Every structure is written in structure tokens, then in C-alpha cells.
Amino acid sequence: MGFAISLQSQIIKTEELSEVIVYATNYKYLNNVDTEEEASIPVEMLRRKVAAFDVKDSEFYQDDYDLYNINFFIPEGKILAAYDKDGKIIRTAERFKNINLPNSVKKAILDRFPEWTISKDVYRVTYHNEKGVSKKYKLKLENGDKTLRVKVDEKGEFL
């Protein structure tokens, strides 16, 4: 006995799809705040969240407003980001505590203060889409019972 199975071939319709353009809205922010050597992984992760945040999909979005201030928090720090109505980052204020410092900052401290240790650090970044970015480190140094506070930029230059 044999079974006869009738098979039908599938006819695939080809359709031409409309062109899709994909672009990063906040690429300028990431390009300005990122450096070859990032200060810390949590800082990088929070910045990527800020850049990927879509204001238009948020629950408080309304067409009437031109500016949205959004706070992002992690245990190591926070970012206050101002978005326009299209979701583009206009400016940010960032503050992080006790993060891994870049080698340029560590080397500058070691060269100028060889016997001192860094007990606390605060990393501050201000970004503006027209003015650029400013990165500063406020450090508390200790040597026995002596303490010293210094400010350094991302290149290791003392302010």
C-alpha cells in the first residue's frame, strides 16, 4: 500500500518595503563625554541609559512642553539630563562618587603628592550641546593625619 501525499509549493510574494533611516539622536552627547579611557563602568552604563532614553515614549510626554528634565540615579552617582521635545539631549549635569579614576589623574596625583593616598573622589561632568563638555575631579588626599583637597581635570592638570 502506498500513501499519496499531495504537496503544494509555497509561492513567496516579494514586496518592496519603504526605506527606513536609523540614526542615533544623542550620538553627539556620547561622543563628547566618552574618552579613550573611561573613568568607571557604572558611569558608562548610566550614560548609555541617558542617551537611549526616549522622551516621546515616557508617560509624562506632552506636545505642549519644549524641555524635559529627567533624573537618572545609580548608587555611585546621578545624571540630570535636559531633553528637547524631540528627545535630543540639550545639557547634562553629572556627579559620581568614589569611582575608578583614569590613569592620567592617578599619575598626576602620584607625581605631585607621592606620599599621599586618595581617600575620596567626586567626578563632575557638565555637558552642553553647543558649549561642549567639562570634566573635573575633586579629590581628598590623606597622609597620616593630614588632609588635602585638590581639583584636577581629565588630563591630570591641577585647577
Cα separation, 116 vs 159, whole angstroms:
18
Task: Determine the Cα–Cα distance for residues 99 and 43; give it in Å rounded to an integer.
Answer: 8
Say whether pLDDT at 158 is over 80. Answer: yes
pLDDT for 138 beyond 70: yes
Helix (H, G, I), strand (E, B) or coil at 141: strand
DSSP letter at 14 equals P
Pairing of strands 132-143, 117-128: antiparallel
Read off the pLDDT of residues 31-64 as tens digits, 9 standing for 90 and up: 666 665 655 778 888 888 888 888 777 777 677 7
**What are the tens digits of pLDDT across the range 94-115?**
999 988 888 888 898 889 988 8
- The per-residue pLDDT for 6 is 58
Query: Which residues neighbour 68 within 8 Å (Cβ) at sequence distance 6 or greater?
Result: 55, 58, 60, 61, 82, 83, 84, 85
Lowest mean pLDDT among 4-8, 88-92, 128-132: 4-8
| Window from 25-29, 90-94, 150-154 with minimum mean pLDDT | 25-29
- Looking at residue 42, its pLDDT comes to 80
SS3 of residue 81 by DSSP: strand
For the chain, give every domain's residue range. 27-153
